[in-house]
Amino acid sequence: METPAKTQTDTRSDVRLSAAQRFKARAIAIAGYPIVSGLGRTWSWSIEGAGHFDDVVRSGRQPILALWHGRILPATLYWRDRGIVALTSANFDGEWTARLMGRFGYRAARGSTSRGGSRALVQLRRELAAGHPVAFTVDGPRGPARVVQPGAVWLAGATGHPLLPFHIESSSHWTTRSWDAAQIPKPSARVVVVIAEPIVVAATDDRALERARATLKERLDVLEQRALALVRQPA
């Protein structure tokens, strides 16, 4: 039987929650881990572009993983146990998400585009400098869906570490009614992960960041079409 990994949620968070909220967040993570882990064990995986992650690391840099918010669940299982630091919201939802992801080997930087973002970006700069990959849902935490927010591209421009976009599709899934239309692959689904070549952001001026945002959006759209084509092919 699989033993849950030790939770590695960032204890430096200044998220203000009541004791009851913290207890509830911990309970959600404890209950959710075996469900998510068990579901993931039924999936089969098809990966394209897996070498791009290792290529970035071999170059002496760390990848800034970039994905749409609606693919968090399968992404959490695919990238697990790699020491990745993920940006999560500074609120109750972010608390239980960080605790659940901690059981899959992630650590959390707490903040978002709307709250605590500057502090989170400072932490992520330190994490990259210390040799840890980081991850962004680039349209999170509350959308609009499929609109790239500036945090990830700014971090890439400020640090020299490249963006590594990826997209995930599955052969069968449930789709939530949330703003991000999140996908939950069904039991025994085939899950396709397509990873693009890294994107280097050369500067942090407004024009450079806007170009990088447009490039990232275009790359994610291409990845989505490629993943959809692959998932429709016979296994």
Check: CB of residue 181 under 8 Å from CB of residue 145. yes
Q: How many domains, in total, are found in the chain?
A: 1
Check: CB of residue 100 under 8 Å from CB of residue 196. no
Q: Tell me what pLDDT residue 8 has.
A: 45
- Centroid of chain to Cα 58: 21
Q: Tell me what pLDDT residue 1 has.
A: 32
Whole domain around residue 78: which residue ranges? 19-232
Q: Is residue 14 part of a domain?
A: no
Q: Tell me what pLDDT residue 165 has.
A: 98
Check: CB of residue 169 under 8 Å from CB of residue 224. yes
- R_g of the chain computed on alpha carbons: 17
Helix (H, G, I), strand (E, B) or coil at 99: helix
Q: Is residue 191 part of a domain?
A: yes
Q: Is residue 10 part of a domain?
A: no
Q: Tell me what pLDDT residue 89 has.
A: 84
Q: Is residue 2 part of a domain?
A: no
Q: Is residue 7 part of a domain?
A: no
> Rounded CA gap, 30 and 161, in Å?
34
Give me the residues paired with residue 166 across strands: 195
Q: Tell me what pLDDT residue 234 has.
A: 85
Q: Tell me what pLDDT residue 10 has.
A: 47
Residues (pLDDT < 50) of the chain are: 1-13, 114-116
Q: Tell me what pLDDT residue 135 has.
A: 97
Q: Tell me what pLDDT residue 115 has.
A: 45
